[in-house]
């Protein structure tokens, strides 16, 4: 994020960055933030669900639980994301 701020300000002050470039950078930053939030939520939920007593290693059942939990979480997120995007496209088509 620090790099983004400095890139943005240096580009804006020199007048070399057009609004389209700035918008693309903003979109990338939003996508990165969303991915980080998704990973954090998935980690929190699956850790709470699968890890009874935290230790230095995961046993086989914990490893399987984590893998399955993360797969299910990603599948659910993808399903919701597709439905949301589909709805957005329908709404935009109406305008």
**Domain limits for position 34:** 19-53+60-93
> Within a domain: residue 43?
yes
* Alpha-carbon span 86 to 90, nearest angstrom: 6
Residues 6+ apart with CB under 8 A from 63: none
Decide if pLDDT at 45 tops 50: yes
| Total domain count, the chain | 1
What are the tens digits of pLDDT across the range 14-36?
A: 557 788 899 999 999 999 999 99
> Within a domain: residue 5?
no
> Within a domain: residue 11?
no
What CATH code is carried by the domain that includes residue 48?
Answer: 1.10.287.810
> Within a domain: residue 12?
no
> Within a domain: residue 68?
yes
Decide if pLDDT at 42 tops 90: yes
What are the tens digits of pLDDT across the range 62-75?
A: 999 999 999 999 99
> Within a domain: residue 41?
yes
Please state, in angstroms and as integers, the Cα–Cα distance from residue 83 to each residue in 33, 56, 61, 74, 92, following that order.
Answer: 21, 40, 33, 14, 14
């Amino acid at each position: 994020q620090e790099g983004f701020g400095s890139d943005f300000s240096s580009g804006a002050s020199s007048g070399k960055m057009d609004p389209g470039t700035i918008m693309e950078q903003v979109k990338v930053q939003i996508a990165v933030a969303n991915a980080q939030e998704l990973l954090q939520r998935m980690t929190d939920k699956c850790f709470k669900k699968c890890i009874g007593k935290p230790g230095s290693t995961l046993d086989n059942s914990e490893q399987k639980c984590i893998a399955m939990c993360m797969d299910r979480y990603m599948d659910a997120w993808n399903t919701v994301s597709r439905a949301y995007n589909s709805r957005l496209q329908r709404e935009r088509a109406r305008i």
